[in-house]
Chains A and B, each alone.
Chain A
Amino acid sequence: MDFLNALVAFLNYVFIPGAAYGAQLALGALGATLIYSILRFSNFAQGDTMAFGTAIVILLTWWFQSLGINFGPLPTALLALPFAIVVTSLLVLGTDRVVYKFYRKQKAKPIILVIVSTGVMFVMNGVVRLIIGVKEQNFADGERFLLEPKAFKEWSGLAESLAIKTTTAVTLVAAVVCMVALFWFLQKTRTGKSMRAFSDNEDLALLSGINPDRVVQVTWIIAAALMVVAGTLYGLDKSYRPFTYFALLLPIFSAAIVGGLGSPIGAIVGGFVVAYSEVFVTYAWKKVLGYLLPDNLAPDGLVQLLSTDYKFAVSFSILIIVLLVKPTGLFKGN
């Protein structure tokens, strides 16, 4: 029985939260990796674009709620998603037209574009705070649990309980849907293939008659959609604060780089690697070990390797280790 309790505690506190967080990072990393492979720079405004998109989702959610519109057991935010994606796409396309296009025409070096995107980041940072403020916002509604802890306890008779939050389930389903759709698009459609061709060999893509402006626009729209979905899922699952989103930049880029920048599969795997590393290192293992080990060996301390305050140190360490040991990442990116 103790082994089962240990397993349930592990699933409840490590595996499931890690999977949800990993899926959110993976979607964010996919957006970053797409921008990197087509526009050829690391978009530092990524986190704040996610914050912007999520802010729009929150405002629309509140408006829908005031109109009495809801999505049954699912969060109303899912209804707001498509509209927020449109608004965010317009924002990034506008930014591209006003800012990035100028540097692209000049054939600016990637490092210049990175600095430019840092500028965009600061502007967007301010815009988001003007729109929704700096405070924490809660916008999750609908059923709180898909699997209630109490119901599980009664059913299993175990001391430990297992809960699956609706937002966790929504995160995983939405992430799978987005990933499948993205891969189908890149592998099977004419536009998707032209994006891969452009990323592979820009000059030859031009010789083949592929329109670079169109490729760039489609890339921004898809990246915006991924960013809004990732941001919304993160906000539903945890909570929304603009600053948190800015800080997500680090785990997202570690994820993209661990997998190999430019590789979509790598971005997904990287997302889970970073998420699980964070959860493993910051989780207090006392409970799980207490069930597994004989009483006389049970740990006295929390068996927590790092305080959760240091979770970004984990992403940062992973980033450094990958860049030192295998700079091309797990899936041979650039």
Chain B
Amino acid sequence: MADPFLIGEAMTGGYGPVDILHACTIAVDKGEIAVIVGPNGAGKSTAMKAVFGMLNLRGGRVLLEGEDITRLTPQARVAKGMAFVPQTSNIFTTMTVEENLEMGAFLRRDDIHETIGQIYDLFPILKQKRYQAAGELSGGQRQQVAVGRALMTQPKVLMLDEPTAGVSPIVMDELFDRIIEVARTGISILMVEQNARQALDIADKGYVLVQGTNRFTDTGKALLADPEVRRSFLGG
């Protein structure tokens, strides 16, 4: 197999002196959806933040298109084509929807109207509410703003930390549909999800983490079919 588009290889590290990740490996290929699942405290979000450079690694490395980016700051990784949607505080609540999108494109110096149009095509509700303060929107709409803001940089990789946390099942299904659409445009997606079953259903690749290490790694379908994964993590 060729080198994956983005890989965090054998990552070891944590926020303080205690390691949370132990030689954990996460990778995603071009235009694919990779999902990280696992029980609470397994280090799912930490693994994603490690890939994005938000904590210091004591071991392992991160490669983007074969280039070693382990030492780059998160901001520098944004410039390299990575986009990150945090789980909370992921929008500018006092600014309008459109201003949120503009801020997402802050690094770009070219015309951003076309990209804003594409975001509105993807999330039509945002176009209706474009002049409304993002903080006044519903949970699902806020998540759309957050994903839209991240897409404004025209990233090659989109990283989502529990995009469906706190939204209703219907809204969750719709968000997943949109995420699949984004992946079809050639953007790789790396996502941490609590709703493991639904997330693995749309995943090309799934990572089951337990205590900061890889427990199972396979295609989403295979993990869903694996009786041990089902029994331990998906509730039968």
A residues lining the B interface (CB < 8 Å): 190, 193-194, 196-197, 200-201, 203-210
Top 8 A-B residue pairs of the complex, sorted by shortest distance between their CB atoms: A209-B107, A200-B92, A197-B103, A200-B94, A209-B106, A208-B106, A208-B103, A197-B92
Could you say which residues of chain A place their CB within 8 Å of the CB of B86?
203-204, 207
Cα distance, A316 to B9, chains bound together (Å): 60
- Cβ of B43 within 8 Å of any chain A Cβ, yes or no, is no
Central interface residue in A197, A205, A206, by most chain B CB within 10 Å: A197
Q: What number of B residues sit within 8 Å (CB to CB) of A?
A: 21
Could you say which residues of chain A place their CB within 8 Å of the CB of B94?
196, 200
Residues B104 and A203 in contact, CB atoms below 8 Å apart:
no
Cα distance, A210 to B95, chains bound together (Å): 15
Cα distance, A82 to B39, chains bound together (Å): 61
Residues A209 and B153 in contact, CB atoms below 8 Å apart:
yes
Residues B79 and A209 in contact, CB atoms below 8 Å apart:
yes
Cα distance, A142 to B52, chains bound together (Å): 62
Could you say which residues of chain A place their CB within 8 Å of the CB of B99?
193, 196-197
Cα distance, A207 to B93, chains bound together (Å): 15
Residues B149 and A208 in contact, CB atoms below 8 Å apart:
yes
CB closest chain-B residue, reference A263: B94
Residues A210 and B103 in contact, CB atoms below 8 Å apart:
yes
Within 84-108 of B, Cβ neighbours of A (below 8 Å) are at 84, 86, 89-95, 99, 102-104, 106-107
- Cβ of B175 within 8 Å of any chain A Cβ, yes or no, is no
> Least Cβ distance of A183 to chain B in Å?
14
A-B contacts counted at CB < 8 A amount to 57
CB closest chain-B residue, reference A206: B75
Residues B104 and A208 in contact, CB atoms below 8 Å apart:
yes
Q: Of A190, A200, A203, which is within 8 A of B95 by CB? A: A200
Could you say which residues of chain B place their CB within 8 Å of the CB of A193?
95, 99, 102-103
Interchain Cβ contacts under 8 Å between A and B, 6 examples: A193-B99, A200-B95, A204-B89, A207-B86, A208-B103, A209-B75
Residues A208 and B95 in contact, CB atoms below 8 Å apart:
no
- Cβ of B147 within 8 Å of any chain A Cβ, yes or no, is no
Central interface residue in B78, B86, B106, by most chain A CB within 10 Å: B106
Could you say which residues of chain B place their CB within 8 Å of the CB of A205?
92, 103
Residues B104 and A201 in contact, CB atoms below 8 Å apart:
no
> Least Cβ distance of A159 to chain B in Å?
52
> Least Cβ distance of A191 to chain B in Å?
10
- Cβ of B74 within 8 Å of any chain A Cβ, yes or no, is yes
Could you say which residues of chain A place their CB within 8 Å of the CB of B74?
206-207
Could you say which residues of chain A place their CB within 8 Å of the CB of B153?
208-209
> Least Cβ distance of B168 to chain A in Å?
24
Interface string of B65-76 (1 = CB under 8 A from A): 000000000110
CB closest chain-A residue, reference B89: A201
Cα distance, A196 to B90, chains bound together (Å): 15
Cα distance, A207 to B73, chains bound together (Å): 10
Residues A196 and B95 in contact, CB atoms below 8 Å apart:
yes
Could you say which residues of chain A place their CB within 8 Å of the CB of B107?
208-209
Residues A197 and B89 in contact, CB atoms below 8 Å apart:
no
> Least Cβ distance of B185 to chain A in Å?
21
Residues A201 and B92 in contact, CB atoms below 8 Å apart:
yes
Cα distance, A89 to B2, chains bound together (Å): 55
Could you say which residues of chain B place their CB within 8 Å of the CB of A190?
102, 106
Residues A196 and B75 in contact, CB atoms below 8 Å apart:
no
Cα distance, A193 to B99, chains bound together (Å): 8
Cα distance, A201 to B90, chains bound together (Å): 8
Central interface residue in B75, B92, B149, by most chain A CB within 10 Å: B92
Cα distance, A322 to B234, chains bound together (Å): 53
> Least Cβ distance of A64 to chain B in Å?
42
Cα distance, A325 to B107, chains bound together (Å): 43
> Least Cβ distance of B154 to chain A in Å?
13
Residues A204 and B92 in contact, CB atoms below 8 Å apart:
yes
Residues A204 and B90 in contact, CB atoms below 8 Å apart:
yes
Cα distance, A313 to B117, chains bound together (Å): 55
Residues B75 and A207 in contact, CB atoms below 8 Å apart:
yes
Cα distance, A242 to B211, chains bound together (Å): 63
Cα distance, A183 to B39, chains bound together (Å): 48
CB closest chain-B residue, reference A262: B94
> Least Cβ distance of B199 to chain A in Å?
23
> Least Cβ distance of B88 to chain A in Å?
10
Cα distance, A190 to B91, chains bound together (Å): 17
Could you say which residues of chain B place their CB within 8 Å of the CB of A210?
103, 106
Central interface residue in A190, A194, A200, by most chain B CB within 10 Å: A200
CB closest chain-A residue, reference B108: A209
Could you say which residues of chain B place their CB within 8 Å of the CB of A208?
78, 103-104, 106-107, 149, 153
Could you say which residues of chain B place their CB within 8 Å of the CB of A200?
92-95
Cα distance, A194 to B103, chains bound together (Å): 7
Could you say which residues of chain B place their CB within 8 Å of the CB of A209?
75, 78-79, 106-107, 153
Cα distance, A200 to B91, chains bound together (Å): 9
